[in-house]
Amino acid sequence: ARAGYQHLMLKEIHEQPRIIRNIIQRKQSAWLPGDSFGETTCGVLLIGCGSSYHACLAGKILIERLSGIQANAELATELFDVTGSTRRYRAVIGLSQSGETADTCAALDRQRQAGFYTVAVSNVPGSRITRLAEQTILTDAGPEMSVAATKSFTAQLVTLLNMGLALPLKEPKRALDLTGELRALPARLQRILDREDAHASAARWLASFKNIICIGRGIFLPIALECALKLKEITYIHAEGCAAGELKHGTLALLSPVTPVIAFMGTDETRAQMLTAIREVKARGVPVLAIAPEGEEDLEDLADRVILLPRTDPLLQPVLAAAAAQMLAYHAALSLNLPIDNPRNLAKSVTVE
Ligand code: F6R
């Protein structure tokens, strides 16, 4: 089952270029029903748990940037109230890799019963969520066996991007720019996976710390949250994802020479603000690992360690950053000699609420 890889997680990480190539070859057909609520409508709601919730957070930004349709993301585990809601979503989209997560299924079912149109985005055909939703969009990442979500997460990101592109676009020309970048994405992802040494060396360094703060802004915030989750799950290191701009509102107090920061640099308007955050952190003697697109070589003077990733469209860059985060977590756990595919206390799918 491991196909020559030491762990299922590593095998699944390496499947990503092929999976993404397949997803982008499929054109997503129209999926959003007409606006039956008229003026009171407020776009779409994305719900999920864990990594799938992080994909919802990124999906909100992808959908809003591409289509201008308002999107919200909520934790399925915190979505209790439907009747009291004044919002009228045109669709509620439930994301679940397994399609069996009880919290997500229950929340989506409540929305369906309240009269909302429901869409399941799942990796498992015929799973519970696909049976209860009106419409299903499959992520087609193939069976994911390692407990930590990897290929299913990037497949969710690219699927959500396709879903965004299938909506009436704010700038129709944007779809054309993205086509070329999407085509080049699998090879760029492969280049990251081929640089095992760079990730392993940074990961061994990370593994020496007890606490790690991951920061990002905009569409890189969900990636910072996902990086922290991956670290917690498989390395058991306490890691926290934090919006870069929120550091000074509290989390900065935790930082010290033994509590490093992993900074996910964006290529969009968040770049300057991320640089400010990194400078702020460095001024306090805090070690920084920057994960940034090529062209940011100057960061080498500022950060302690830099991992440069191929540069792509700002909406696709998070996919590459996510792969780097997975590699870091994997190699950190490997150096700590932990049971990577079956971390303690966790099950692959959580079928109780
Ligand atoms: C993280 C992880 C979990 C799942 C969560 C939702 O690596 O695997 O956080 O993302 O339990 O699972 P699904 O997507 O199957 O609903």
pLDDT confidence bin for 349, thresholds 50/70/90: confident
- How many angstroms is it from 169 CA to the middle of ligand 1? 30
- How many angstroms is it from 334 CA to the middle of ligand 1? 21
CA 184, 189, 192, 196 dihedral sign is negative
123 lines ligand 1 (CB under 6 A): no
Residue nearest ligand 1's atom 16 by CA: 96
Q: To the nearest 10°, report the CA torsion of 167, 172, 178, 183.
A: 80
218 lines ligand 1 (CB under 6 A): no
Burial class (CB in 10 A: 0-12, 13-18, 19+), 326: buried
Cα 54 versus chain centre, distance: 5
Residue 38 has pLDDT above 70, yes or no: no
Pick the closest to residue 163 from 69, 268, 42 (CA basis).
69
pLDDT confidence bin for 106, thresholds 50/70/90: very high
Residue nearest ligand 1's atom 5 by CA: 50
Pocket test for ligand 1, best of 8, 56, 77, 98 (most atoms within 8 A of CB): 98
Residue 350 has pLDDT above 90, yes or no: no
- Index of the ligand 1 atom closest to the CA of residue 147: 8
- Index of the ligand 1 atom closest to the CA of residue 54: 10
pLDDT for position 352: 80
pLDDT for position 42: 76
In this structure, what token pair is assigned to residue 259?
Answer: 């509590």
Residue whose structure tokens are 């003077």: 301
pTM summary value: 0.96
In this structure, what token pair is assigned to residue 67?
Answer: 């289509």
Average pLDDT over residues 295-307: 95
Give residues with Cβ within 8 angstroms of 27, minimum separation 6. 162, 166
Question: Alpha-carbon distance 239 to 262, whole Å?
Answer: 10
Rounded to 10°, the helix 173-193/317-335 angle is 20
- How many angstroms is it from 17 CA to the middle of ligand 1? 21
Burial class (CB in 10 A: 0-12, 13-18, 19+), 243: middle
149 lines ligand 1 (CB under 6 A): yes
233 lines ligand 1 (CB under 6 A): yes
Q: Which of 38-42, 67-71, 212-216, 323-327 has the lowest mean pLDDT?
A: 38-42
Question: Alpha-carbon distance 287 to 49, whole Å?
Answer: 31
Question: Alpha-carbon distance 202 to 215, whole Å?
Answer: 17
